[in-house]
Structure formats: C-alpha cells, structure tokens
C-alpha cells in the first residue's frame, strides 16, 4: 500500500482511519490528524431513518443474501442534496487559501458573489438547526482539543460572519461546512472529501441492514406505503 | 449490430422489441415471436408501488438530476425474491427438453425431487393468486393467439399437474413460470431471461420517477416513516 | 396501467415501445410517434465496448447469477459526459417553444449566451463526426419519413446554424441533440428523456452480459490491465 | 447512537472502527477487539487493480462529480466470487460452536459433507497462495498478539486439517476464512460480516477514484480495450 508493506506496516499496526487517510493521501496521519479524521467519519455514520437507510433496508428485504447490493443502493443517495455541499465548501476554502487575500476581503467578496447569483453558499444553512448546528460545534470543539484549529476553520467562520452581514440574517454553519474545514485543516484533499461521507455512511448502513434482518421494518413500511399511497390498489401484488 | 448496419437495418425499420431480441439472440424475430416478446416485456412494466419503485422514488428525491441513478438503484431489487424464479423455471424447461424423457415422467420426477428437498418449484406458487395467476393466464392466451403455444408451455403445465399431485394441493402457475415458458418457446436464452424483466421494469421505473418529480410521494413517505418508525426521534434531521 | 386494464388493453395488444410511451405520458402514441420513439430507443442500444458495457461485463464476471446487478452498474455511466446532454438540449427547445420568439432571434441569442459563458451548447459537437453525425442524420430521416418533422427539429437546426455563425466554425449537431428534438416533437417530456437512453442502453447491456457469459472478454481484459497498469504487481492476487 | 449520545460519547472520543463495531453490535469493543477489527478492515482495503477498482475507475471517468456513484458501482463486485465466502465460513463456525461437538468430530464430519456434495469448503483454497495465505497468517498473528486467539480460530484450523485429510491434498486456509474466524472471535455477527469487507473496500475505492482523477488510467484502458477487443470497430464512437 503506497510503498509500505501492507501486512507488516498497516495490518495490526494502524487503525482503519489511519490506513484510509494514508491510502488516499500517501501521508500517514499523526495523532492530531487521526482524531479529527475519526470525528468526521463518525459524525455521518448514523442519522436515523435517512433516505439512504430506507433504500438500503428495502433492497435488503429483496436481496437478503448480498449486503453489498443494499449498501451500494443506499450510498447512491449520498449526493448533493444531502452531504454533497462538503466538497463545495472545501473548494471555496482551497480558493481562499491559494488567493492570499485577507480573510475578510475574500469572505465579503464571496458572500456577495453568491448573493448576486442567488445561490446558496455551500456549508451554510440548515432547515432545523439555528443559530448553530450542534454537530458542527462539536467537530470544531474536537478539532480545537486536538490542536487542529487553524486557518481553514478561521476562514470558514469569517465567511459565515460575512454571509450573515450580506444577507441581513443568520445562516447556520452546518456540519458539511465544518467537515470541509476540518478535512482541509488536516490535509485531506477536496476531491476525495465526499469519500469520507460515503465510508462513514457505509458503516451506518451495515448497522441498518443488520437491524433490518432482525426487525423487518421494511415490510411494515411497504404495507403502510401500499395502504396510503396506492390509488385504487387492486391487489395485483408483485410477481413471484 | 450483429452484422447488420444499425442505421439502415435497425433504426427506423425495427421496433425496440425486435432489436432487443435480435441483439441478444442474433436472430431477427418474426411477427409471432415479437408478439410474445412484447407481452413478456409489458407484463412486468408496472406493478404499482413495488419495492423497486419505492427505492427509485427515494433516490430520485435525493438525486433529481440523474435519473439513471434512481433507475439503477430500483433495478437492484429485481432479484430472486421478486422476479428471479423465471430463470429457474427456464432452466427446468431446458433440462426437460434436452432430456428427451416423456413429459409426464420428467414432471413426476421433478416434482418429487423438489418435494424431497423441501424446496419450492420455480414458477409455481403465489401469495395472492389462486387457482390461477391472471397474468400467466393472459400470457398463455397471447401466446396461443400468436400461434406460439408449443412444447415448453405444455411441459410447464404438465409439471404443474404433477406438482399438485405430489403435494396434494394446488400451487398456482405464476407469471414468472409463464414468462419462462413463453421465452423458451420463442428461443430466448435462459441466461438472458432476467434481462427481459429488468428492461420491462426499467421502463416502469422511468414512469415512477417522472411521476415522483410531479407528485413528490417520497416526501410524504419519508415523513410518515420518520413519524412511525423512529424511536425517540430527536429532530436531528439530515445533514445538509 | 394509467386507467387502462393492463392485461386486456396492453399485454398482447401494444408493443413495448407503445406501452413505455403510454406509461410515462398517459397518451397512447399513434403509429407516427411510435416509429420515432422506436428509432430513439434503438439508436442508443448498442455502441460497442462503451464504458457502461465494460462495467457491466466486469460486474457480470464477479456476480454471474444476478444480471440485474451488472445492468444497474453499467447504467450508472449513462451520465452527462455520455448521453446526458439530451435533456439539456430538450430544455433549450422547450424554452424556445414557450418563448414565442422568432426562431432566428432565439437561436442567435442562445448561441451568443453560451459563447459568452464559454459553455458548450447541449446537442452540438462530437469528437469524431463532422460535418454530420450519421446517427442524427438517420434519426431526422426517420422522423421525416414518419411525418414527424416539425417545429422542434426546425428550431434545433436553426440553432445549429447560429452556433456555427457565432463561433465561426462548424459544430456537428449530434445524436443527443437529434433525440431531444424528436422526443420533443412527439410529446415526450424533457424530464423523462434520459429514461429513453437508459432503457435503450439496458437492452444493449443485456446483450453484452449474455455475450460475456460466453466469450469471457473480461478475464482477458483484467489480465491485460493487470499486466499493463499495475506497477510493481507482486502477485498478491484477489481475496478468495 | 444505540443509546449513547453521538456527539459527546462517540465523536471525538471513539475511533471509526470502535463506532462501527458499536453501531452494529451494540457493544463498545475493548482494545483487544478493536485491534482485531481494525486488522480485518485494513486487510481488504487495497488489492491493486481488482475488478471493483476497475469498475469504480471507469464510472468515475463518466461521472466525475459524484464519487458515491463510482464507489457504489465498485462495491457491487464484492460478491461471492471475491470476498463472499467469509459469511459461509462464519456460518460453519457458528454451527460448530452451537453444536457442542468435539472439534475433531465436527471438522471430520463437515469436511466429508462438502466432499460428498463436491462443494468447496468456504474459507479454504486459493489460486495463488500455498501452503499459506500470508494475509491469513498475518491476521492470526495479530489476533494472537492482541490476546484474541480462541475457540473459533482453533476450530477453523482443525477444519483445515480435516479438509486436507479428507481430500488427500492441502487446501490453503485463505484470508476470508481467517477474517470469519477472527470476527467470530470478537463477537461480530455473521450476518454483518460482509459489511466489514464492504467498508474496507469502500475506503480503498476512494483512493482508486482519487488517483483516477489524477492519472486517468481509465482512458488508456478504454482505448486499449477498444483496440484489442472490438471486432470490426468502425469508429462509431460514443454518443456525445
């Protein structure tokens, strides 16, 4: 694996998170980076009955012998509407860091640009959490505790202040924004950020699918859906 | 396409069903085969809110710009539990036709073999339809009308009679069994039979997804599921 | 199905293409529309060893018992880079038809807009075909033969002329653009257009997968890839 | 998460592996279990240009903006032919442990049963590695070092000895068998074992996809495949 002997240097020596970080970046993370990376992987692991979890459970009910099929189907929902804005926020931060502009200048310019285009600033806004997304707050706390808080997190917070000023109302800095900042902080590349969400979610889906094998939630759900939503259901049933 | 010029010999000249049959088998179907093939493709096109339709609708809600993702996810449910027994029945029929045994002998032997192994005979049994699966009945009617009824259909019906005798109770000859017999009749290979179900369903999923873009069934469904099934839901919401 | 009795009005009566058009639009197509719809479905059915075909073949080699898995994986490549521009072209045509503008005015304005944004006009350009994409040419020929050539096709050709004028060089009107125009002509909704590509491709993938079961192309391909691209391959092999 | 507060008890406190184990089993693993679980997750993370890696890379080339699609496609290959025998081996071990039989009795009986049915014993055999699969050897070493070696590992080794005796030749105890034994040892349920392979592989696929964004292996591969395998390639090209 990337120039190291997998069997002697990785297996039995490194944690999954360390190996994952290493196989993507080529750099073995230090303890500080590992704490932050683990926090990001864990924060998206479970979110109750998300669309992806429902998809995985329904597919599991149809294909009980092949868990990878249900996981793959569930992962297909990890798109822009849900966790996709992470990479968008990561790209903004990368631009800011390369531009060399003063943070406030960059933030004001960026906030204005999104307002003018009437587009949402990636990493900000949440339908339920305000003024703070507790997951973002916790991630920042962990990063600070690990000694990781640095330039990217500061930039994102500055951007948040300018977004509020520009719009005249408060937008929550959400968990996707926080993850983007922390992953930037520890040197994880923007282009692979969605992979962190995907792997974290994959673990959560394994739990959902295993639970489905026991509690059979899907059957109740399908029956309920059938009852509620099938107009003029005629008992046609499914093909055997 | 298989030795023919696609642009001059297929496009504008052949129907989709004819081309599909041809690209798989290398034989251009005659009118008789085409009627049967169309009937098989159509019979699985829509079955209301099947698991696959629900999966496709939920994924569509997450990934509205990429219909192929929702279709692919929905198709992953087209497995053994739902339409998968078609190939099993097709294999039985192929064995029977190659064996050269008298139909009754083969059927009695096969019924006994499945009973002894306590396994279900593919193509028989249905949770709702009895004594007949109206879809199977209709497919046989179409095949007979087209002049396709022949040896495979007769074999399957003989097998059904022996299954009933062996078990001492009636098992419905279901739509999967009927499709297997008819596709065998028209020379469509067993190994590609599931593809007929998949293509038929893909068309049905396009309709579900297009409808979802308008009626937004998924949102109601997700809210309902959340209300009914999330123990101690704490309003965590989804990540943005 | 959409208010009709599937067993008596669809199965054995309508072709797959007619049923597919009907289940999506709610309108049973006439002979004219059916010819055009079949042509669009067939044109994308096979294109040799496309990325999707390779994906489907590799997955088939790993999961030989579940063809729907290989088909689903292959369909995931039917995205913007390949056939995705169809819906983009369809949306342009829908705007043009609703705007009530004179075709030349709309076309000139649209061509200029894309040039100014340095973005490619959907439906135009092809790496190999110039000045014409023979598939587009054939589709238009079929549409004209069926008596379907109308406003949408004329608009797209006008747009092509203006694109050439604006850029000062010729861009090929490609097959995606032609399909968008013809599907618009026959009343198939823009939002479901990608579904036509997906269903056509699904049929083609069934043929690839069935062929793979016989000729085992994937094994040669994997060995070749291993030989050519694995730096320092150490014979680790795959887990069993 | 399973009765614990995710933000205070998991994020920033537990590693990804600990959380993954916990969310599936409901039991927080101790240090000993965590070492073994990490080793299993890491061992399948990377295996060079596996079929799944090729699938993910090809899909990435078509859908560069949505990494989850390429990951999902790649994961669909994690089926029986590759890592699927893990659960089979796990089920054998679970039966042995519940049966209360003497290990040698159970092993001899089981080896004979598979020989009589002419079926492969899950967890044994490898096309390249003999007499030992170095990955299995390393996993057992890690388990022993962590103090995890116990009854399940002993049972599997006993089974291996009886398999060799029964067949009259040596079959390698492979990595899937070793993982099944170690996961059984640490209390990870058989029904969720494939999930460990899937999550490990998902991390490896992120690395492949990220690399693909840089080195564009797929393009060379597709060109090579086109050159080598397309009989009578006529330059039709792909649809735009």
B219: closest chain A residue by CA: A51
Residue C239 has pLDDT above 70, yes or no: no
Return the percentage of chain A with pLDDT > 70, whole number: 92
Q: Which residues of chain A neighbour C69 with C-beta distances below 8 Å?
A: 66, 69
Question: What is the length of chain B?
Answer: 240
- Encoding tokens for residue A103? 């943070």
Residue A235 has pLDDT above 60, yes or no: no
Contact C47 D239 (CB under 8 A): yes
Tokens 């009343």 belong to: C187
| pLDDT tier, D79 (very low <50, low <70, confident <90, very high otherwise) | confident
Return the percentage of chain D with pLDDT > 90, whole number: 70
Nearest residue to D235 (alpha-carbon basis) of B98, C219, B122, C130: C130
Q: Are C230 and D217 in contact (CB under 8 A)?
A: no
Distance, in Å, from the CA atom of D191 to the CA atom of D209, rounded to the nearest integer, reads 29
Look at residue D4 in the predicted model and tell me its pLDDT.
86
Query: What are the pLDDT digits (tens) for D163-215?
Result: 999 999 999 999 999 999 999 999 999 999 999 999 999 999 999 999 999 98
Instruction: Find the CB nearest A42 among D10, D46, D138.
Output: D10
**Residue A72 burial (10 A CB sphere; 0-12, 13-18, 19+):** buried
Residue B67 has pLDDT above 90, yes or no: yes
Contact A11 D139 (CB under 8 A): yes
Look at residue A195 in the predicted model and tell me its pLDDT.
95
Distance, in Å, from the CA atom of D102 to the CA atom of D85, rounded to the nearest integer, reads 24
- Encoding tokens for residue B174? 């279901």
| Distance (Å) from the alpha carbon of D49 to chain C's nearest alpha carbon | 7
The complex's ipTM works out to 0.92
Q: Which residues of chain C neighbour B27 with C-beta distances below 8 Å?
A: none
Distance, in Å, from the CA atom of B23 to the CA atom of B41, rounded to the nearest integer, reads 15
Contact C203 B199 (CB under 8 A): yes
Distance, in Å, from the CA atom of B189 to the CA atom of B124, rounded to the nearest integer, reads 20
Look at residue B47 in the predicted model and tell me its pLDDT.
66
Instruction: Find the CB nearest C51 among D62, D175, D230.
Output: D62
Residue B210 has pLDDT above 50, yes or no: yes
Residue B173 has pLDDT above 80, yes or no: yes
Count the Cβ atoms, other than its own, within 10 Å of residue C30: 11
Look at residue C240 in the predicted model and tell me its pLDDT.
36
Contact D23 A45 (CB under 8 A): yes
| pLDDT tier, B161 (very low <50, low <70, confident <90, very high otherwise) | very high
Look at residue A240 in the predicted model and tell me its pLDDT.
35
Q: Are A55 and B58 in contact (CB under 8 A)?
A: yes
Residue C190 DSSP symbol: G
Distance, in Å, from the CA atom of A179 to the CA atom of A90, rounded to the nearest integer, reads 9
Q: Are B166 and B205 in contact (CB under 8 A)?
A: no
C25: closest chain B residue by CA: B207
Distance, in Å, from the CA atom of C213 to the CA atom of C215, rounded to the nearest integer, reads 6
Look at residue C85 in the predicted model and tell me its pLDDT.
81
| pLDDT tier, D218 (very low <50, low <70, confident <90, very high otherwise) | confident
Q: Which residue has the higher pLDDT, C37 or C9?
A: C37
Beta strands (DSSP E) in chain C are: none
CA dihedral B15, B16, B22, B23 (to 10 degrees): 150
Long-range pairs for A215-220: beta carbons < 8 A, 24 or more residues apart? A216/A61, A217/A57, A217/B229, A218/A57, A218/A58, A218/A60, A218/A61, A218/B51, A219/A61, A220/B228, A220/B229
Nearest residue to B73 (alpha-carbon basis) of B57, B94, B89: B57
Contact B236 A176 (CB under 8 A): no
Residue A239 has pLDDT above 50, yes or no: no
Q: Are C89 and C209 in contact (CB under 8 A)?
A: no
| pLDDT tier, A200 (very low <50, low <70, confident <90, very high otherwise) | very high
List Cβ neighbours of A125 (8 Å cut-off, separation of 6 or more): A171, A172, A174, B240
Query: What are the pLDDT digits (tens) for B91-147?
Result: 999 999 998 899 999 999 999 999 999 988 999 998 889 999 999 999 999 999 999
Element of type H or E holding C154: helix C151-167
Residue of C203, C204, C212, C213 for testing the chain B interface, max B β-carbons within 10 Å: C203
What pTM value is reported for the model? 0.92
Look at residue D239 in the predicted model and tell me its pLDDT.
40
Query: What are the pLDDT digits (tens) for A122-164?
Result: 999 988 899 999 999 999 999 999 999 889 999 999 999 999 9
Contact B67 C17 (CB under 8 A): no
Look at residue B146 in the predicted model and tell me its pLDDT.
95
Q: What is the CA radius of gyration of chain B?
A: 21
SS3 of D173, please?
Answer: strand
Between the alpha carbon of residue D196 and those of residues D17, D25, D37, the distances in Å are 10, 13, 9
Distance, in Å, from the CA atom of A123 to the CA atom of C237, rounded to the nearest integer, reads 42
D32: closest chain A residue by CA: A12
Q: Are D76 and C63 in contact (CB under 8 A)?
A: yes
Distance, in Å, from the CA atom of B44 to the CA atom of B198, rounded to the nearest integer, reads 9
Q: Which residues of chain B neighbour A67 with C-beta distances below 8 Å?
A: none
- Residue A4: which region, alpha, beta or left (left: phi > 0; alpha: psi -120 to 50)? beta
Distance, in Å, from the CA atom of B51 to the CA atom of B58, rounded to the nearest integer, reads 11
Q: What is the CA radius of gyration of chain A?
A: 21
B222: closest chain A residue by CA: A51
Tokens 């929702």 belong to: B70
Q: Which residues of chain A neighbour B81 with C-beta distances below 8 Å?
A: 61-64
Q: Which residues of chain B neighbour A129 with C-beta distances below 8 Å?
A: 237
Distance, in Å, from the CA atom of A51 to the CA atom of A45, rounded to the nearest integer, reads 14
| pLDDT tier, A81 (very low <50, low <70, confident <90, very high otherwise) | low
Q: Which residues of chain D neighbour A41 with C-beta distances below 8 Å?
A: 16, 19
Q: Which residues of chain B neighbour C26 with C-beta distances below 8 Å?
A: none
Computed over every residue of chain A, the mean pLDDT equals: 89
Q: Which residue has the higher pLDDT, C186 or C61?
A: C186
Q: Which residues of chain A neighbour B175 with C-beta distances below 8 Å?
A: 239-240
Distance, in Å, from the CA atom of D58 to the CA atom of D218, rounded to the nearest integer, reads 6
Count the Cβ atoms, other than its own, within 10 Å of residue D69: 31
> Residues C198-213: what's their mean pLDDT?
95
List Cβ neighbours of A218 (8 Å cut-off, separation of 6 or more): A57, A58, A60, A61, A212, B51
SS3 of A173, please?
Answer: strand
| Distance (Å) from the alpha carbon of B157 to chain C's nearest alpha carbon | 21
Count the Cβ atoms, other than its own, within 10 Å of residue C140: 21
SS3 of D124, please?
Answer: strand
SS3 of C71, please?
Answer: helix
- Count of B–C CB contacts within 8 Å? 200
Q: Which residues of chain D neighbour C237 with C-beta distances below 8 Å?
A: 47, 126-129
Q: Which residue has the higher pLDDT, D128 or C182?
A: C182
- Encoding tokens for residue A172? 């929550």
Instruction: Find the CB nearest D16 among A41, A138, A192.
Output: A41
Contact A209 D192 (CB under 8 A): yes
Query: What are the pLDDT digits (tens) for C51-69?
Result: 999 999 999 988 888 999 9
Q: What DSSP string runs through B87-141?
A: HHHHHHHHHHHHH---HHHHHHHHHHHHHHTT-PPTTB--SS--S--HHHHHHHH
- Count of A–C CB contacts within 8 Å? 4
| Distance (Å) from the alpha carbon of A170 to chain C's nearest alpha carbon | 32
Look at residue C49 in the predicted model and tell me its pLDDT.
84
A203: closest chain D residue by CA: D20
Distance, in Å, from the CA atom of D20 to the CA atom of C36, rounded to the nearest integer, reads 52
Query: What are the pLDDT digits (tens) for D43-71?
Result: 989 768 889 999 999 999 888 889 999 99
Residue C230 has pLDDT above 80, yes or no: no
CA dihedral D152, D158, D162, D167 (to 10 degrees): 70
Residue C221 has pLDDT above 50, yes or no: yes
Look at residue C235 in the predicted model and tell me its pLDDT.
32
C200: closest chain B residue by CA: B16
Residue B82 has pLDDT above 90, yes or no: no
């Amino acid at each position: 694996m990337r120039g190291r002997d997998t069997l002697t240097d990785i297996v039995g020596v490194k944690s999954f998170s360390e190996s994952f970080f290493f196989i993507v970046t080529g750099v073995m993370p230090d303890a500080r980076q590992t704490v932050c990376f683990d926090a990001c992987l864990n924060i998206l692991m479970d979110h109750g009955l998300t669309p992806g979890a429902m998809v995985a459970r329904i597919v599991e009910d149809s294909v009980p012998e092949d868990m990878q099929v249900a996981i793959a189907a569930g992962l297909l929902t990890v798109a822009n509407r849900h966790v996709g804005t992470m990479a968008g926020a990561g790209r903004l931060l990368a631009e800011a860091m390369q531009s060399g502009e003063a943070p406030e200048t960059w933030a004001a310019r960026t906030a204005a640009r999104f307002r003018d285009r009437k587009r949402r600033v990636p990493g900000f806004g949440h339908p339920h959490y305000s003024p703070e997304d507790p997951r973002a707050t916790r991630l920042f706390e962990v990063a600070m505790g690990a000694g990781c808080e640095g330039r990217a997190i500061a930039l994102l917070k500055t951007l948040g202040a300018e977004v509020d000023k520009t719009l005249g109302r408060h937008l929550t800095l959400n968990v996707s924004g926080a993850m983007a900042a922390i992953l930037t902080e520890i040197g994880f590349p923007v282009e692979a950020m969605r992979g962190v969400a995907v792997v974290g979610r994959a673990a959560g889906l394994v739990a959902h699918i295993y639970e489905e094998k026991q509690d059979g939630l899907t059957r109740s759900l399908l029956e309920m859906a059938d009852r509620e939503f099938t107009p003029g259901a005629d008992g046609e049933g499914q093909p055997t």
